Structure 1
Amino acid sequence: MKIEKVGVVGCGLMGHGIAQVAAQAGFEVCVVETEQSFLDKGLGRIEKSLAKMAEKAVKKGKATPEDAEKNRAAAWGRIEGSLDKQSLADCDLVVEAIVEDLDVKKTLFNELGGICKADTILASNTSSFPIARMAEASGRPERFVGLHFFNPVQLMRLVEVVRTDKTDEDVFAAARSFGEAAGKVPVACKDTPGFVVNRLLVPYMTQALEMLERGDATKEDIDAAMQFGCGYPMGPITLTDYVGLDTTLSILEGWCERFPNEPAFSIPEVLCTRVKQGKLGRKSGEGFYKWDGDKKT
């Protein structure tokens, strides 16, 4: 099937980025929020990002000022905002990018299954929940996929395209093609915990925290070892602060609950302690390190 109109539910950190790259790729976009203030904030982010990217294209010699402005205006003109889920009825693809709460997501997809046209593809941007659980809730599991983008969506080139045992092949192919059209490198994955990236990344972060907990090495040395020994842009403990300690804990708690016999999934006590103290990482100003905005102090 051909995707021409894309719906995005949620215009927050991830949703506004998904809406933007879809519009820049030539798709008509309808983004839905629950409150006008949330919608205004998300659309404001898109407008600011489009202007910044146009300015950068001119500075790098990739576009003339006239062409950059034309492209910016065209992308912005393809985006409409709404507070009514019924606006998504005629979309070819609807991507959910709301709060990471499985019950809330299942409720939404149950609604979307009754609102959207019969051939609409439904997708979740979840980073950790089982795609099959949401697919069943939608009532159309054969037309359901995971489309996991990475933050910031405008810059990160990867999208994980996740299928369940019930996903139709043409639906999966269409979702993958959408990812490519949006300028991403799509990787295919089965509906496994954490998909590809987080299945590898989160246990790596967990092992680093358990090393710290045992006193095997300091947080600074653990980070330096991976940064300079493996060429990573940042170490695992800095990364945990960057992702958010509460987010990391939530992922691990969900995995441990659903897969209690999987040895790769464990919850370091040092992580629980800091979350209880409200030390959530970069977002709160302190986690394992202290932060001033996006910079460690």
Structure 2
Amino acid sequence: MTAAALPHDPLWPRAGNWPAPDAGDGPIDLALVGVPTWRTSLSPTGAHGTPAAIREALPRYTTALMPDRSVFRRPQREMTIADFGDVTDPDGAEGEARTRNLVAEAARRARLTVALGGDNSLTVPVALAAWGNALDTAGLVTLDAHYDLRDGVSNGSPVRRLIEAGLSGRRVVQIGIADFANSREYASRAAHYGITVVHRDELHHERITDVMAEALEIAGAAGGPVHVDLDLDVCDRAVVPGCPGSLPGGISAWELRRAARAAGADPQVRSVDLAEVDVAADAPDGRTVRLAALCVLEVAAGLATRP
């Protein structure tokens, strides 16, 4: 059933279908930007179709928290969410420049920007644009099965590229790094950069909310803006069959959703991206895309709790 065919119920308002920003300078709480990167992916992917698929999945949900915990509200008013549309052909140097321009505009006008990927190469231009001139104090938190420290320019290199651009590795935290999905060489590179790594096995003994709180504290230690990369392949492959790099034994959908809400709630988080979902490889029930859509709503729910 497509979103257009969903039943109408005035007492069950649907999420999504948020308008484009108006020409004025009115307050925007959350900005959506589609960044359909895919050309440099290390594995075949249809990730360029994912931003549209997430938007189509959003109306399957409401904005209400249960039990009776409110809709997305700021003090005295409803939250304002605007959709800035998609970057055209965001891959390559010119595409990254276009991405940075659109994300910078969204970040200028909104308290929090959520970028809908696309493969993980979107993290570089999105983070740099959201950080603006604060790269020397910025921080990064990734939820990812992989280090993303490879050489070259691909969806396997964004963390290395950001560090080489000037981000301090000591304000980078990587959560969910998996066994049998990385190499000793890249583990050594992470240690050399001073990255804080939380391996997948460690999450069996820690609450994801506690891990996120510590990670955000480390990333925000210099008082600068923080970017959170939600690479859905950190989840168990049964949960995210549409992620080419996912493994059996990853984190649960609930844990990812908790992490997304924690990111939205932290005042230093200026931007979040959702990455590595190949809509063309998803299960027939659309579970991967639907989880990505729920992460958008979880980020917004977290934002609604900010002071």
TM-score of the pair, normalised by structure 1: 0.29
Between structure 1 and structure 2, the one with the greater Rg is 1
Task: Report 1 or 2 for greater relative contact order, CA contacts < 8 Å, sequence distance ≥ 6.
Answer: 2
TM-score normalized by the length of structure 2: 0.28
Please state which structure has a larger fraction of its residues in helix: 1
